[in-house]
Chains A and B, each alone.
Chain A
Amino acid sequence: MSKTTEMHQALSAFDKTTSRWGRITMIIGLFLSLAAPAYLVFFSGLDIEVSSVLTAFAALAAVFGVIWIVEPLTYFPILGASSMYQAFMIGNIANKLLPAAMIAQATIGVKPGTRKGELAAVAAICGAAAVHLTSLFIFVGLLGTWLVSVIPTDIVQTVQFYILPTVLGAVIVQAIVSQKAPRSAVIALAVSLIVIFVLVPLIPGMNLFATAVAVIATAVLAWVLRDRKAFGAAKNVDEEAIPEGPVY
């Protein structure tokens, strides 16, 4: 058997194993992640209507629907098929898995996009997963539960009441910095201010649609008002450019 056919066979065996087991494990992960809320909705005795879950899901789809599809498309050329099933289950792709893969490739001196690079990335993501699972289990699973039980109630209450504005304040800045799209950021700010301070008080029932309206209006305006020098001719866009930000 020649060297090339041997290599070809080894790689197709690798592809076969990773895509078969990658898919199987991801489907089990998907099932388990849905089992928890399914239990709460159907069996826990909580009064949650299926129709209200669907309403909430529709609101979410209006806001994030595009991103659900675009993110896998964005990461595929960088991660390769086998790592896709790892990355989208382990999470924190941009801030953890991609750097891990790149550092591993640099350490052993292989290029991304090559087969050696792909194997190095798979091994690096396994390493990252090992560290991540361990630290989550110890510091959040074990110590976190204990920590919450000893924190005074007035601090817990402050966290509960004000966590949302606190998280969002920082996340907005991070998103603006990582997206490097100042025009979109200005449009988003203007649209959001109009929606929250003008439309919501004026139109009864607007509150429910505020997020979706702002997102859709911003997306349309950002496209219409885009910098045509940079984005006008579609061909000039660097396909490899990826958002480095707080993506999935």
Chain B
Amino acid sequence: MNIPALLPAAADSNSTDILAIANSPVLWACAIGVFLVIIVQSVIYMKAAKTAAPHIGMTQDEIKTSFRAGAVSALGPSLAVVMVAIALLTIFGTPAVLVRIGLIGSVSYETAAAAIAAKTAGAELGGPTYTQAVFGLALAAMSLGGAMWMIATLVLTPLLKRGDSALRKVNPAIMMVVPGAAMIAAFMVLGIAELPKSWIHVVAFLSSAAIMTILMVIAKRVNKPWIKEWALGIAIILALAITYAATRL
């Protein structure tokens, strides 16, 4: 089915002009929809908290103070996310970045998911094989992956609420070891798979890892948590600058 009216001069499966399709009005509408849903949810939750507060001995002031404390503490992390999101705009387009990186997901999982999806189509993220069709496939995979987290939340929360659920009795040692190892392995194998592609890929990977390591060491030495917060954004931007310099050699 084709609706050309909605997509002026776009939708060419083999075109690498991702942004023509990634910034389409339909994707924008969905992204703004997600924003609105979160706003509505927050309003309902605040109202419910304000109504319940006096009955358990909390003043309206304490609720307001909590809101303000949450807002202020989110400033740094939010701007750090913004920085990473901007670096990814040309890969995924604005609406997808807003929803996947900025909101529901996070940069590490979403980029990994997109890379895995592109691979199944024999393509790579960015570059000449990253066509509009591959972008669509990557967005579909990222969104389905994110949906699984939401579905797990929707299914598990009521079960866990019932208290003494059997789910809490899963061997906690497995819970501690296996997911962490799986996560590190996923990022590691995707990262190392980039290395044989070209020496510039090696420069990009190693410089980013090195800058991150330095920032982590500094954060630990001077005990400044804000460095950890900003580290990912700083590492990505600086490593991209180094990589850009390498391409000009």
Min distance, Cβ A193 to any Cβ of chain B, angstroms: 6
Chain B contact residues: over half helix, strand or loop, or mixed?
helix
Given the known interface contacts A166-B236, A237-B176, the answer about A56 and B121 at a Cβ–Cβ threshold of 8 Å is yes
B71 located at the interface, meaning its Cβ lies under 8 Å from any Cβ of chain A in the complex: yes
Q: How far is the CA of A103 from the CA of B156 in the complex (A)?
A: 27
Is A211 a contact of B4 with CB atoms below 8 Å? no
Is B7 a contact of A45 with CB atoms below 8 Å? yes
Interface string of B121-164 (1 = CB under 8 A from A): 10011110010110111111111111111111110111011000
Min distance, Cβ A48 to any Cβ of chain B, angstroms: 5
From A33, A74, A82, A222, B146 is in contact (CB under 8 Å) with: A33
Is A6 a contact of B55 with CB atoms below 8 Å? yes
Min distance, Cβ B214 to any Cβ of chain A, angstroms: 10
Min distance, Cβ A106 to any Cβ of chain B, angstroms: 8
Is A208 a contact of B119 with CB atoms below 8 Å? yes
Is B149 a contact of A141 with CB atoms below 8 Å? no
Question: Which range holds the interface residue count of chain A?
Answer: 35 or more
Is B181 a contact of A126 with CB atoms below 8 Å? no
Residue of A nearest to B54 (CB): A10
List, in ascending order, chain B residues with CB within 8 A of A185's CB: 184, 188
Given the known interface contacts A43-B3, A73-B156, A218-B184, the answer about A234 and B70 at a Cβ–Cβ threshold of 8 Å is no
Is B144 a contact of A60 with CB atoms below 8 Å? yes
A167 located at the interface, meaning its Cβ lies under 8 Å from any Cβ of chain B in the complex: yes
From B126, B179, B183, A162 is in contact (CB under 8 Å) with: B126
From A17, A136, A219, B178 is in contact (CB under 8 Å) with: A219
Is A192 a contact of B185 with CB atoms below 8 Å? yes
Q: How far is the CA of A66 from the CA of B194 in the complex (A)?
A: 25
Given the known interface contacts A170-B212, A179-B183, the answer about A64 and B96 at a Cβ–Cβ threshold of 8 Å is no
Min distance, Cβ B24 to any Cβ of chain A, angstroms: 7
List, in ascending order, chain B residues with CB within 8 A of A39's CB: 26-27, 30
A113 located at the interface, meaning its Cβ lies under 8 Å from any Cβ of chain B in the complex: no
Residue of B nearest to A87 (CB): B153
From A71, A119, A161, A177, B58 is in contact (CB under 8 Å) with: A119
Is B73 a contact of A103 with CB atoms below 8 Å? yes
Is A140 a contact of B44 with CB atoms below 8 Å? no
**Interface of chain B residues 173 through 216 with chain A (CB within 8 A):** 173-196, 200-202, 204-213, 216
Is B208 a contact of A170 with CB atoms below 8 Å? yes
Given the known interface contacts A140-B94, A248-B149, the answer about A188 and B85 at a Cβ–Cβ threshold of 8 Å is no
Interface string of B66-87 (1 = CB under 8 A from A): 1111111111011111100111
List, in ascending order, chain A residues with CB within 8 A of B140's CB: 37-38, 40-41, 48, 53, 56-57
Is B177 a contact of A226 with CB atoms below 8 Å? yes
Is A223 a contact of B105 with CB atoms below 8 Å? no
Q: How far is the CA of A96 from the CA of B76 in the complex (A)?
A: 9
Given the known interface contacts A90-B103, A107-B65, A181-B180, the answer about A100 and B87 at a Cβ–Cβ threshold of 8 Å is no
What 4 new A-B contacts, CB under 8 Å, besides A174-B232, A223-B181? Answer: A44-B21, A140-B102, A173-B213, A219-B181
